[in-house]
Amino acid sequence: MDKTALLFAGQGAQVVGMGRDLAELYPAARALCDRAGEILGYDLARICFEGPESELTRTENAQPGIYLVSWLALALLKGELPGLTFEATAGLSLGEFTALAAAGSMTFEDGLRVVRLRGRFMQEACEATRGAMAAIIGLDEPTTREVCAATGVTLANLNCPGQIVISGDADRIPLAIELARTRGARKAIPLPVAGAYHSPLMASAQPKLAAELARIPLSTPLIPVISNVTAAAHGEPADITRLLVGQVTGSVRWEESMRALIAQGFTRFIELGPGTALSGFLRRIDKSVSVFQVSDAASLAATVTALRT
């Protein structure tokens, strides 16, 4: 029997209009959007649906917005397929919170609150530093690590073969880009982000996030949830908190996480939330696995049809 893992989108997947058709077509989705507004005290769904883009891309809105739309996708998929089972979850950066909620480690409500605050704390860290990020295409991990060490920047995301994201001081990223090109990178591209995520420049967000996580009840997940930091399953609540705090400045070991699941016999993956980045990464990692995606009404219908056959 196929083992199924759910994958949850991370920051950068946000797009104005995300979730709108789901809320328009499904009363359960509209109710979740209304509930999110009650929890946060402002209309997050309206920002997701209407923007403006400058408001949605603010970290403190993008993170809870993606969390909400990912949860809509999960709730509707489960509603359409009552017999759906899944044996593990994982999420890219903020998506790890959605993955933990889906696995019963925290409630939807607590996850939404803490992700909103995580976004605010990271926004504050961005504003207090001069950070930047870049995508390095076509360079292997050891060589990219050498580039980082030589220029004083950090490996932020190890996404899939040939795609690594680096992060650090805004004055050092151009140096790293140039060195990566000379070392054989096919492309080295600055990213349009607010700061240096998953680098030491985010450290000021960590104690604030730790304090907020201490306020919410966490449970051991009902199924394995893969940690970005270790590329292995989360354990007890204290370890979950430690790893979520460490994730703010640590590297996202996404390729290694997916390979770990595949090695454990997972052959079916469902990406939930805006965008298709995780599906694309997975196809680069292993073309033999089945990949499905739910971000809007059309992809929900397609995935439901495929999973029913």
Catalytic site residues?
93, 198
| Long-range interactions of 43-47: CB distance < 8 A, separation 24+ | 44/68, 45/19
* Token output for 264: 């454990």
**DSSP characters over the chain:** --EEEEEE--TT---TTTTHHHHHH-HHHHHHHHHHHHHHTS-HHHHHHH--HHHHTSHHHHHHHHHHHHHHHHHHHHHH-TT---SEEEESTTHHHHHHHHTTSS-HHHHHHHHHHHHHHHHHHHHHS-EEEEEEES--HHHHHHHHHHHT-EEEEEEETTEEEEEEETTTHHHHHHHHHHTT-SEEEE---SS-TTSGGGTTHHHHHHHHHTTS-----SS-EE-TTTSSB--SHHHHHHHHHHHTTS-B-HHHHHHHHHHTTEEEEEEESSSSHHHHHHHHH-TTSEEEEESSHHHHHHHHHHHH-
Write the CB contacts of 25 (distance below 8 Å, at least 6 apart in sequence): 297
DSSP β-ladder status, 88-91 and 3-8: parallel
